[in-house]
Chains A and B, each alone.
Chain A
């Protein structure tokens, strides 16, 4: 996990690393962004993420291992999730999948995002523009 939003610099670092992965023919990047939803007439201005750190690492590893065993053409899976405050428009999740070919890159990335939503012990508090908040 990282504190605050996933930065453009970090995203670029993943893209720069692609060049070295000469066994991969396809990469899929998922970026999860904080949306300025409207709730009861007020906009979400940020989300505060909290997590059970010890369990997050265990569960993230299980997700990665599950993807690697389900998709035999996948070479690597990286997951970065924010904790702390991410403003609307900020990126709070990065999933990067490299595979030999495009089909599994797309499928595995999609599966990884679903598994993250189901199994990562992370919680979201939506902070509205009037500073009130709601648990998601």
Chain B
């Protein structure tokens, strides 16, 4: 299974990419650990997560094809 992770704002800069794919990851908490492994600095930032365009705080299970966005605090307007 594979999910697509989108990084925005300063997190895109830290990760050096806007998009990264992760294979065989079961849940949001597991995904975070894998991301912190790849990009330790991200752990120091506040962010919200959305799964398939729905913002969530829950530690949900992931399925193949899910699109997960890591979003720092919004700064629009």
Contacts and interface: CB of A to CB of B under 8 A. Distances in A.
B17 to A, nearest CB: 13
Contact of A122 (B10, B13, B69, B76): B76
Interface string B38-77: 0000000000001001010000000000000101101111
The residue among B9, B50, B55, B71 with the most chain A CB atoms within 10 A of its own CB is B9
Contacts of B6: 52
Interface residues of B, number: 16
B12 A117 contact: no
Contacts, number: 60
Contacts of A50: 8-9, 12
A49 B77 CA distance: 10
The residue among A113, A120, A123, A124 with the most chain B CB atoms within 10 A of its own CB is A123
Contacts of A52: 6, 8, 50, 53, 69, 71
8 contacts: A32-B77, A117-B76, A117-B77, A121-B76, A123-B74, A124-B76, A135-B10, A135-B72
